Chain A
Amino acid sequence: MTIFVLKNEPLHTTPISVYTSKNELLNKFIDKSDTEIWNKFVKGDDDAFAFIYNKYIHQLLRFGIQFAPREIVKDSITDIFIQFRKGRKTKKSINITPYLYKSLFRVLNSKTESLKRMRSFEEIEEIRSWQINLSADSKLIAFEQQTQQTAKLKASFNSLSKKQRQAILLYYYEGFTHDEIKGIMGLRNKSSVRKLIYRGLDTLKKHF
């Protein structure tokens, strides 16, 4: 986890001085449980908010970028954090991760749908999202030589429906439970999630 140093400078007319040094922030919360951090946040502790922001921002960006280009994702993340912080006094204790993912999913899903509708009259190939990669390495800039077999398997993964790919990535890569995925994707029940994953994977049996 990287925390960037936020200096102790008043920015514009922001009255809140949440800027503590990297170590101070870490020390303040490192041994606190999620519930304790949450309680502080709800009471208005903006250091707690900064800690939450720092903890989730990178994975939210990575998640959001599957939908749309960077700038759109950044705007959306900003919006959901604004809402998240605004409504904190009224929030009961929640599981933060799926909650943030669910909000971002909803916002980006509707944004990309309306972007698609705004396309010009010509048949343009849709910018596809939620692509699955199969690799043991997770280097960001790597020139990978994939074997023929992995390439075929990868192509099969990416010919699954977008919802299937979303469910598969949320389960295997992000590590959410079926129940959490149901919430994030806005599906009716857990078995819908299972169906998406199992039916998708079943089509890949031919590779083995």
Chain B
Amino acid sequence: MKYEEYGVIDFVKDDFFVSWVKHPNSESDEFWREYIISHPDMMPTINQAKHLVLSIKYEDHVTLQPSEYTNMFENILKPNIRSKANSKHWVLKIAAVASVFIVASFIYFISHYDDNNVQKTTKQTISKIVKQNPKGQKSIITLPDGSIVKLNSESTLTYFSNYGKKDRYVQLTGEAFFDVKKSRVPFSIKTKGIETTVKGTTFNIRSYDNEDNTQVLVVSGEVYVSDKNGNSITLLPSELIEYSSSKNITKKSADVDFKNIIGWKDGILIFDSDSFDEVIRKVERWYGVTVTIKNKSLMKGTYTGEYHNKSLKRVLDGISYTSNFNYEILNDKQVLIK
């Protein structure tokens, strides 16, 4: 096929074209310059192909910290000293892998031997543990391996009785702050749309059903996040990602105000230029009340404020003062704004 008949992808597939785009030399430069001059109508196609060739990249990027660089280097040179311990370590490792493989293949074999019977048996031995917080309640959960989860209001954490054996897997709706114990066994959290995996770190995840975005903020350590479209990214401390089903994973800049996002776990209720809607939602969730608004025209503007372990009345006093409305707390669970 002649170049004149080429489409964008045909150029992209062409070795000579690709080597010109990536490593031009005087010969290839001359060839393609001549070609474009004599076939000017091919220019848009060639430009698109060139752009495509140059834009193909890895999605995920990392930087090696200086300490990691030197630690790895030391570990490479060390073997001379720890060779005796090393071989023991290797034997254990091989034994572990072999036993996992044997168990895995055993289970595989059995499940194929008698499908129905075995499915029931395996399902019976594993149970689900659900920790649920209604609005107005926060709690601290300690997982079997010692990892600590601070669960926010209106949130649910689910894990299974086989937690910690081969992996540490939990499901979250709502918001939680995780302090994951370091272990070779990976710890993963499933939230709406994305799955987060860590080895031992502290970070915050926010994924409420009634909110569009899912948000992950890393405080220490390193977190690996992926969505069902296969996008994935590794986050370092103070990095934040947001996931929404329309935009997939987007990474925000790394200078994040922590208090705004994780203040809740220390009893700090923060409003940061929040719309009235958000303010109401936060109050409802934090205190477990239902807010009814008589005069909808009051719901305009934004509110900023910070409350450390304050009562509902104090918070409403503060907001109503600046936003100019009156309120009434009825029977402990309802608020009326007029």
Contacts and interface: CB of A to CB of B under 8 A. Distances in A.
A173 B251 CA distance: 22
A202 B13 CA distance: 9
Nearest to B7: A208
B56 A173 contact: yes
Contact of A69 (B55, B186, B250): B186
A71 interface: yes
A66 interface: yes
Interface string A31-60: 000000000000000100010010001100
Interface residues of B, number: 69
B1 interface: no
Given A81-B76, A131-B230, A208 B48 contact: yes
A202 B169 contact: no
B224 A13 contact: no
Contact of B62 (A65, A86, A129): A65
A86 B77 CA distance: 10
B265 interface: no
B104 A117 contact: yes
Interface string B70-95: 10111111111100000000000000
A16 interface: yes
Contacts of B228: 125
A141 interface: yes
B167 A118 contact: yes
A118 B75 contact: no
Given A18-B77, A125-B228, A120 B167 contact: yes
A205 B13 contact: no
A171 B56 CA distance: 10
Interface of B: 7-9, 12-13, 18, 22, 48, 51-64, 66, 68-70, 72-81, 97, 100-101, 104, 122-123, 126, 160, 162, 166-167, 169, 186, 188, 190, 195, 197, 199, 222, 224, 226, 228-232, 234, 239, 250-254
17 contacts: A11-B74, A57-B64, A65-B234, A122-B160, A127-B195, A128-B226, A132-B59, A134-B55, A136-B55, A141-B251, A143-B253, A158-B230, A169-B58, A173-B57, A201-B12, A208-B7, A208-B8
Interface of A: 4, 6, 11-16, 18, 46, 50, 53, 57-58, 61-62, 65-66, 69-71, 74, 77-78, 81-82, 85-86, 114-115, 117-122, 124-125, 127-129, 131-136, 138, 140-143, 155, 157-158, 168-169, 171-173, 175, 197-198, 201-202, 204-205, 208
